């Protein structure tokens, strides 16, 4: 095969595609499974189980079960303490994702920035406003039970957002989201 054909067959963003495929695979692995036994194990661990559930809350494929567990824990634990501990767990999970995206995907992210549609978007929005919009949009995703990987990846893409700001955003918004879920769980009990 000549060089021209080989270059056309080469996948442009292999790491990003593999990451996306792992999310899809994880969804199919966890979808429809009975999570009651898992909840019992985490519940028996007390606040350490709450911390582990917070880590689960940070990942798309376990965010659903983590949300359900937090709803149950809302009637079993101190909501404020459980929210803070769960928030620290989510921060740990988000930190791992942030580091992986920022370090391991650097080559593909730099290539992605040079795509015409990205350059067009970057050229049409004032730089300062773009940073604010990135933080707000990513923050909404992090605070919700949606996959935090999306919000964390968006922040990791912006090299001008320092790790300290990311940590503050991640902890504050994850904790707020978890507190709301715990409060709903306590109100339903």
Entry field: residues in the chain: 189
Identify whether the C-beta of residue 144 lies closer than 8 Å to the C-beta of residue 177.
Answer: yes
| pLDDT reading at 9 higher than 60 | no
What number is the average pLDDT over the span 71-90?
A: 91
Name the E strands within 28-164.
none
Neighbouring residues of 61: CB distance < 8 A, sequence distance ≥ 6: 23, 26, 27, 29, 30, 147
Q: So where are the chain's domains?
A: 11-188
Q: Give 177: exposed, middle or buried? Use CB within 10 Å, 0-12, 13-18, 19+.
A: buried
Rounded to an integer, what distance in angstroms lies between the CA atom of residue 89 and that of residue 11? 35
CB distance 110 to 116 below 8 Å: no
pTM of this prediction exceeds 0.75: no
- Residue 43 contacts by C-beta under 8 Å, 6 or more apart in sequence? 49, 69, 72, 73, 76
Residue range 121-153, pLDDT digits in tens: 667 778 778 778 888 888 888 877 677 888 888
Q: Which of 168, 151, 150, 158 is nearest to 125 (CA)?
A: 158
Please provide the average confidence, as pLDDT, over all residues in the chain: 79
Read off the DSSP letter of residue 12.
S
Output the pLDDT for position 51.
Answer: 95
pLDDT beyond 60 at 1? no
């Amino acid at each position: 095969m000549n060089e021209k054909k080989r270059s056309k067959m080469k996948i442009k963003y292999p790491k990003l595609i593999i990451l996306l495929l792992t999310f899809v695979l994880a969804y199919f692995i966890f979808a429809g499974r009975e999570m009651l036994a898992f909840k019992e194990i985490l519940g028996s661990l007390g606040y350490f189980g709450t911390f582990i559930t917070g880590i689960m809350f940070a990942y798309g494929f376990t965010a659903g079960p983590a949300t359900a567990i937090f709803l149950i824990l809302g009637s079993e634990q101190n909501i404020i303490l459980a929210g803070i501990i769960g928030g620290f767990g989510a921060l740990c999970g988000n930190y791992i994702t942030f580091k992986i995206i920022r370090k391991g995907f650097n080559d593909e992210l730099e290539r992605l920035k040079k795509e015409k549609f990205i350059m067009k978007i970057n050229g049409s929005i004032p730089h300062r406003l773009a940073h604010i919009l990135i933080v707000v949009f990513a923050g909404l995703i992090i605070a919700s039970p949606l996959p935090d990987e999306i919000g964390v990846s968006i922040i990791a893409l912006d090299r001008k957002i320092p790790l300290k700001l990311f940590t503050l955003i991640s902890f504050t918004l994850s904790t707020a989201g978890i507190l709301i879920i715990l409060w709903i769980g306590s109100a339903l009990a």
